[in-house]
Amino acid sequence: MYQTIITDLQNHILTITINRPDKLNALNKTVLSELDMVLNEVYENTEIRSVIITGSGAKSFVAGADIAEFSGLSMEEGMELAIKGQNIFFKIENAPKPVVACVNGFALGGGCELAMSCHFRVASENAKFGQPEVNLGLIPGYGGTQRLVQLVGKGRAIELLTSAVMIDANTALQYGLVNHVVPQEELLQKAKSILDLINSKAPLAVAGCITAANAVFNERQNGFEIEVNEFGKCFGTSDMQEGTQAFLEKRKAIFTGK
Ligand code: COA
């Protein structure tokens, strides 16, 4: 069905693997539109409770936007490309289900931006992060200037953005860019075990946490008001009735996502 991504749904976790290993999984137009399509499935399919995004092969997560597609673009076309990429990455960030990046190697340029649009990141020991756009006379266009500042702070972000220096997985861990660093062969399992735990919680409450946390970075929203709304909405769910009742009855809650 897809040409450049592989999808696999197991135990309510959808694993999306970007599959252009000969080009280090660079994001060309096809990858971007297939990501866009699979995200619609993520939003709509109730069998999917959480998502992993990773890259094919042992070397690269995603080594950036496909540089071959940049040549000959006008300023307007450059802006259109950035808007298109940003919108797809907003779709990841605003997904009502946790999306985790399993960074299995190079996460450069658009690859680092893709990882940063996910709700959190787990990296293998060989992972490398960087925004090398200035080497090409460019800046990040898929949200990287914003999310890198949000995740690592302005000083570190501006140093990384302007120097194009790559950081290794342990530095990324120290910067707070990734939550965990594990040997490559344990990468997917680590993310799956975190997601299995999250998937055992009330899905609408999980979605509410994501919505409220995202509001911190949305200037058009008051995060505390969003929290009030999301908290209130929980009281209208049968899962909240079940969760509180189960606690009082000293049994495990059975959530239905309603
Ligand atoms: N866009 C298009 N093609 C890319 C790519 C990208 N972002 N990154 C890697 N590739 C391609 C290479 O052109 C090469 O293709 P070829 O075999 O047809 O020549 C293939 O992937 C393998 O990459 P190669 O450079 O040979 O691997 P390496 O191990 O020597 O170097 C990197 C790895 C990641 C350091 C290097 O590929 C690189 O610097 N990539 C670009 C990173 C970048 O600037 N990203 C930001 C883009 S905005």
* Cα 32 from Cα 131, distance rounded (Å): 19
Asked if 78 contacts 33 with a C-beta cutoff of 8 angstroms, the reply is: no
Our mutation pick for probing the ligand 1 site, out of 18, 19, 22, 23, counting the most ligand atoms within 8 A of Cβ, is 23
Domains (range + CATH), the chain:
5-198 (3.90.226.10), 201-248 (no CATH)
Give pLDDT, residue 136.
97
Give pLDDT, residue 166.
98
- Output the CA 62–ligand 1 centroid distance in Å: 10
Protein residues with CB under 6 Å of any ligand 1 atom: 23-24, 26, 63-68, 106, 108-110, 132-133, 135
- Output the CA 24–ligand 1 centroid distance in Å: 6
Atom of ligand 1 nearest to the CA of 106: 34
Question: Atom 1 (ligand 1): residue with closest C-alpha?
Answer: 66
Would you state the structure tokens that stand for residue 100, as one six-digit string? 């985790």
Give pLDDT, residue 16.
99
Known catalytic membership, residue 34: no
Tens digit of pLDDT for each residue in 105-135? 999 999 999 999 999 999 999 999 999 999 9
Report the sign of the C-alpha dihedral through residues 204, 85, 118, 143, in that order.
negative
Please provide the average confidence, as pLDDT, over all residues in the chain. Answer: 98
Give pLDDT, residue 190.
98
* Cα 241 from Cα 94, distance rounded (Å): 26
Tens digit of pLDDT for each residue in 135-188? 999 999 999 999 999 999 999 999 999 999 999 999 999 999 999 999 999 999
In angstroms, the Cα distances linking 111 to 5, 84, 183, 244 are 14, 15, 20, 41
Secondary structure tally for the chain: helices H, strands E: 10, 10
DSSP state of 118: S
Q: What mean pLDDT do residues 17-29 have?
A: 98
* Cα 104 from Cα 146, distance rounded (Å): 23
Percent of the chain whose pLDDT exceeds 90: 100
In the set 44, 47, 69, 113, the catalytic residue is 113
Query: Does the model's pTM come out above 0.75?
Result: yes
Question: Atom 32 (ligand 1): residue with closest C-alpha?
Answer: 63
Tens digit of pLDDT for each residue in 186-233? 999 999 999 999 999 999 999 999 999 999 999 999 999 999 999 999
Question: Atom 28 (ligand 1): residue with closest C-alpha?
Answer: 24
* Cα 62 from Cα 127, distance rounded (Å): 11
Confidence of residue 67 (pLDDT cuts 50, 70, 90): very high
Give pLDDT, residue 131.
98
Q: What mean pLDDT do residues 70-98 have?
A: 97
Known catalytic membership, residue 159: no
